[in-house]
């Protein structure tokens, strides 16, 4: 074989190998960047959801505090209830993004939070209606049920956090 032809063939093989390595490297880097981008979007969605839950929970506590009085300030109670409802809608919006971003394990955990939240909200609604009517007959029962539902909700939120951490690769 002629040395010039051998050099040309060697250069060609070297170029093809370099090009192949560059393509593989580029794909690996693109996949890594996409994974990081996806992880960041999920992290942001989970953080917004937890923040919305936190704000809603503060408003929920304000409603429950107002209901503890034997004679709740009804205009104040209505204002607190309206704030709670507004923030509950924000939680719902944030939850939709969490469900969209996934994965299914986190979406399921978020839906369990929504279910527990809905059950507590139903009790709170009955408590507010009783307070408006001046009816204190079921107050102790409603208060105990609200406390139980609140514990269930907080456990569901804790489970959501664990599912989110696991998905983001921070499980302990």
- The pLDDT, as a whole number, for residue 46 is 95
Q: In the structure, what pLDDT confidence band is assigned to residue 7 with cuts at 50, 70 and 90?
A: confident
Better pLDDT: 11 or 81: 81
Q: Among the residues of the chain, which ranges form H helices? A: 3-68, 74-101, 104-133, 139-167
pLDDT digit string, tens, across residues 112-141: 999 999 999 999 999 999 999 988 889 999
**DSSP 8-state assignment for residue 71:** S
Better pLDDT: 155 or 68: 155
How does the average pLDDT of the chain come out, rounded?
88
Question: Which class for 32: exposed (0-12), middle (13-18), buried (19 or more C-beta within 10 A)?
Answer: exposed
Q: In the structure, what pLDDT confidence band is assigned to residue 18 with cuts at 50, 70 and 90?
A: confident
> In the numeric block, which tokens belong to residue 133?
């009517």
Sign of CA dihedral 44, 45, 46, 51: positive
What pTM, to 2 d.p., does this model score?
0.78
For the chain, the structural domain boundaries read 42-167
pLDDT digit string, tens, across residues 22-42: 666 666 665 666 567 778 889
- The pLDDT, as a whole number, for residue 20 is 72
- The pLDDT, as a whole number, for residue 136 is 87
> What is the third-level CATH fold of 42-167?
1.20.120
Q: In the structure, what pLDDT confidence band is assigned to residue 5 with cuts at 50, 70 and 90?
A: confident
């Amino acid at each position: 074989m002629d040395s010039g032809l051998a050099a040309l063939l060697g250069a060609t093989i070297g170029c093809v190998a370099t090009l192949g390595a560059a393509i593989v490297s580029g794909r690996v880097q693109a996949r890594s960047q996409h994974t990081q981008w996806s992880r960041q979007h999920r992290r942001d969605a989970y953080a917004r959801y937890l923040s919305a839950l936190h704000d809603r929970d503060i408003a929920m506590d304000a409603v429950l505090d107002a209901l503890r009085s034997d004679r709740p300030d009804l205009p104040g109670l209505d204002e607190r209830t309206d704030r709670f409802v507004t923030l509950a809608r924000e939680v719902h919006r944030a939850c939709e993004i969490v469900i969209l971003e996934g994965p299914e394990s986190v979406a399921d955990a978020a839906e369990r939070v929504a279910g527990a939240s809905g059950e507590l909200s139903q009790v709170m609604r009955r408590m507010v209606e009783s307070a408006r009517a001046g009816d204190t007959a079921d107050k102790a029962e409603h208060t105990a049920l609200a406390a139980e539902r609140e514990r269930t909700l907080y456990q569901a939120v804790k489970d959501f956090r664990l599912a989110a951490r696991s998905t983001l690769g921070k499980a302990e």
